[in-house]
Structures are given as C-alpha cells and as structure tokens.
Structure 1
Amino acid sequence: MRHEDIWRAIDALAAEHGLSPSGLARRAGLDPTAFNPSKRSSSDGRSRWPSTESIAKVLGATGTGIDAFASLVTGIPAMPRGRPNGPRRIPLIGLAQAGGDGYFDDGGFPVGGGWDEIALPEIGDPNAYALEISGDSMEPVFRDGDVVVVSPSAPVRRGDRVVVRTQRGEVMAKELLRQSAKRVELASLNPLHPNYGFDLPELAWMHRIIWASQ
C-alpha cells in the first residue's frame, strides 16, 4: 500500500460524491484543510498519511464500506464495464475522442450511437455520461485509463473537477480554480502541465465530474 494510493483513493471518494477533498473533509467533520495537497507531505518532504480516524469518519459520512474504499486504494475498478443486466447503462467514450463531431449536441448532451457503454448504479441525471481519461494531466487523481462519470445538470463550484469543451472542439478534464462573469480558470492537477484560462464565449460547455473509478 503506497502513500499516493491512499490519497488518490480519498480524492476519488470525494469525486464520487461530487465533492472536493476539502468538501469531503468538511462533511466528515474534519478541518476543511485536512486533505489539502499541502498537508500530504511535510516541509522536509516526508510523506504524511491520513489517520485511521480521519478515514473512518469520511467512510461514515459518505456511507462507504471498507471494501469499496480498499478497491479505490488498490485500483480495482468499482464500476463494472460491459453490458450486464440490472444496473443502468450510460454512454462511455474516450476523452481523446470527445472533441470529434457527432458525440455531443449543442447543449453538451451525449448523442448518436457511436458510444460504448458502462454499467453503474442509478444516477439522477438522465444525461449523465462516462469518459475514459487519457494522458497524465490529471495525475495522480485520475490516471490514463480511469473512468469518470460526468453530469451536465450538476451545479459546478470552485474546486470541482470538471470536463470542459471549447468552441474549437478541445475537450479536457481539469479542476475549476475560479469562475467569474467573464472568465474561467482551470487547473491541471499534475504540476508538470499548465493551467488554462478561457473567456466564457470560448467555452461550449462545462460539466462536473461526480464519480470516478480507478
């Protein structure tokens, strides 16, 4: 069990419940800064691990079992792929393909018949869809091949992980740093990748990531 896997599991659990890490800490009754990246290592570079008490509190606050949390730590997908009977199936597309024509309508809702599908428990948004992450700009939270579920109807707040499509057809998964009446600032979680800023007319849509499966 690695230090980064524990923290990635906490980030994934937060995303699954539509929260930022600080929002997850707040829901669990912890200091809102408890899960901030700055708290994950000491000033001399030594790794800091979340306490068992903190983990127990976030599991209790989110109704998550220890087996489900362990699957996030080990990287075993919690969402079955394919076309099983029972759970709802939603569209699944690779992030690199999402900028192409024919996958979304003008409102950013998935259309067409070129999707694969993924099965998961019911989500309230009938237009929810899944994207398979490509590249490393969201590491260590989301890695190449991870699947995220995106809700066009979910409200977007500062600190949320989002999927954005520009008017030029670029699609990217980022974290919302800030949004004003005129501009959106986005962060790449991987410090090796640049942040982005767009004037609102440059964006076609921005949807919130509400679930993640590693």
Structure 2
Amino acid sequence: MLKHADIWAAIDRLAKLNGLSPSGLARRSGLDPTTFNPSKRQSSDGKLRWPSTESIAKILDATSSSMAAFVRLIDDGSGLPARRIPIIGHSQAAVDGQFDGTGHPAGKGWDEVDFPNLSDPNAYALEIAGDSMAPIYRDGDIVIVSPTAGLRRGDRVLVKTSAGALLVGELARISANRIDLRPLTGDQAAQSLKLSDIVWKARIVWSSQ
C-alpha cells in the first residue's frame, strides 16, 4: 500500500540526490519555495495532504529524472541499486592527468566509494579538504559530479579551464560564447570565462551535507 509519508520521503531523497533542500528543489522546478515544506504536508486539522501530480512532474523534469527512478525512491529509499564510483580529493583532482578531455576520471589517484546508482555511468565523487568553500562545502564533505547532466542557471558546477584550473561555482549564466560563475563564498570573486577557454564543465548533483 502506498503511504503518504513514502511519497514525501521520496521527494526529500530526490532533493538530496541533486544537492538541494526541498525548498530548493521546488524553486528549481518553478514552484513556490514552500510547496514541499513540512507545514504543507498536512492541514491544520491534521488531514494529510498529498503532492500534486503536476508538482511531481515538474521536479522530475527539473532534475532530469524518470518516473521509474522516482518510484524506486518510494520503494526502498535508495533510488537505483548502489554501485561503486570513482572518488578523489578535490585538491588532488586539480592535478593534470586526473581527467580525460571530456571530464571523465582517467588518472591513477582515484579510489572508489559506494553510492546509490545514478543515470550517468560516468558519475564520480570529490572529497572536499579544508574550509575554503564553507559554509557551502566543508572539510570532509563528498560531492557527486555528473559529466552528462544538463546545466541550468543556479546549478553548482565544476569547470576545468585550459589553463589547468579546476573551479567550483554556481552557474549564473551561459551563452554561446561565455560562462559566468558566482562564487560559493563571499570572499571570492565572480568569474566570467570564454567558452573557448573551458575544457569541460559538469554539474554537481549531490553533496553529503
């Protein structure tokens, strides 16, 4: 029997898998940020409220997820079966040779970590060291990166430049010629880069916070 709590838990899991809070997931999907708040899950008299099919359709579209994957989140809380994905320290990932020209792991410094399967078979993990990106990411946090996920404004992204820099930021704008990144912390400067200076870019789809 399908339970009210199972549906809401699946929405929370989908948000977490995409590195978002429930309100962030609602906002990305074009919904009111309070759509998935705990207060919206039941009325003042205790009557249970179910999410609408329209809101579920919108969050699946915003996260490039299928209904089948959402059902698996309802069924067992893990989405797809766990598999091992490559993992490397964020600072070590910046060393030349750790990625191929398309942004897939290629070097010898990679380890492995178990993680619920994603639709991208080339997904990998980075372990954050230090607090240079705090409070967004802190020392020891794990972020999951998908080289094939589509990019949207507001996504957190990993960008490799032709100069060898490995940048993390929030996608502010992308055009035919440039990509603009907002910093994750206030003490960093925004960056506007020519796409011709970008080797590859990938979306951060989940974090362990």
Between Structure 1 and Structure 2, whose CA radius of gyration is higher?
A: 2
Retained in 2: the 8 A contact 1:12–1:212? no
Give the RMSD, CA atoms, in angstroms: 3.5
TM-score normalized by the length of structure 1: 0.65
Residue number among 145, 149, 152 corresponding to 1:154 in the alignment: 149
SS of equivalent residue, structure 2 residue 91: coil
Residue number among 92, 95, 98 corresponding to 2:90 in the alignment: 95
Alpha carbons of structure 1 residues 127 and 165: separation in structure 2 relative to 1, 3 Å: same
- Matched positions, count: 170
Output the amino acid matched with 2:203: R
Identity %: 49
Q: In structure 2, what is the Cα distance between the partners aligned to 1:142 and 1:24?
A: 18
Alpha carbons of structure 1 residues 185 and 174: separation in structure 2 relative to 1, 3 Å: same
Q: Which residue in the other structure is 2:184 paired with?
A: 189
- How far apart are 1:92 and its partner, in Å? 0.6
Q: With a CA cutoff of 8 Å and minimum separation of 6, indicate the structure with the bigger relative contact order.
A: 1
Q: Which residue in the other structure is 1:139 paired with?
A: 134
Retained in 1: the 8 A contact 2:102–2:200? yes
SS of equivalent residue, structure 1 residue 87: strand
Where in structure 1 are there 5+ consecutive unaligned residues? 1-10, 36-49, 69-77, 79-85
Alpha carbons of structure 1 residues 155 and 51: separation in structure 2 relative to 1, 3 Å: closer
Q: In structure 2, what is the Cα distance between the partners aligned to 1:22 and 1:150?
A: 21
- How far apart are 1:103 and its partner, in Å? 1.1
Q: In structure 1, what is the Cα distance between the partners aligned to 2:31 and 2:88?
A: 36
Output the amino acid matched with 1:188: P
Q: Which residue in the other structure is 2:125 paired with?
A: 130
Q: In structure 2, what is the Cα distance between the partners aligned to 1:184 and 1:28?
A: 22
Q: Which residue in the other structure is 1:52 paired with?
A: 38
Q: Does 1:205 align with 2:200?
A: yes
- How far apart are 1:54 and its partner, in Å? 5.4
Q: How does 1:10-21 map to 2 (within 5 A)?
A: 14=15, 16-17=17-18
SS of equivalent residue, structure 1 residue 96: helix
Where in structure 2 are there 5+ consecutive unaligned residues? 1-11, 43-49, 60-69
Residue number among 99, 102, 107 corresponding to 1:112 in the alignment: 107
Q: Deviations over 1:5-36 (max 9, x none)?
A: xxxxxx9974623668765124788514x59x
Output the amino acid matched with 1:209: I
Retained in 1: the 8 A contact 2:20–2:206? no
Q: Which residue in the other structure is 1:42 paired with?
A: none
Alpha carbons of structure 1 residues 165 and 28: separation in structure 2 relative to 1, 3 Å: closer
Output the amino acid matched with 2:25: L
- How far apart are 1:87 and its partner, in Å? 2.9
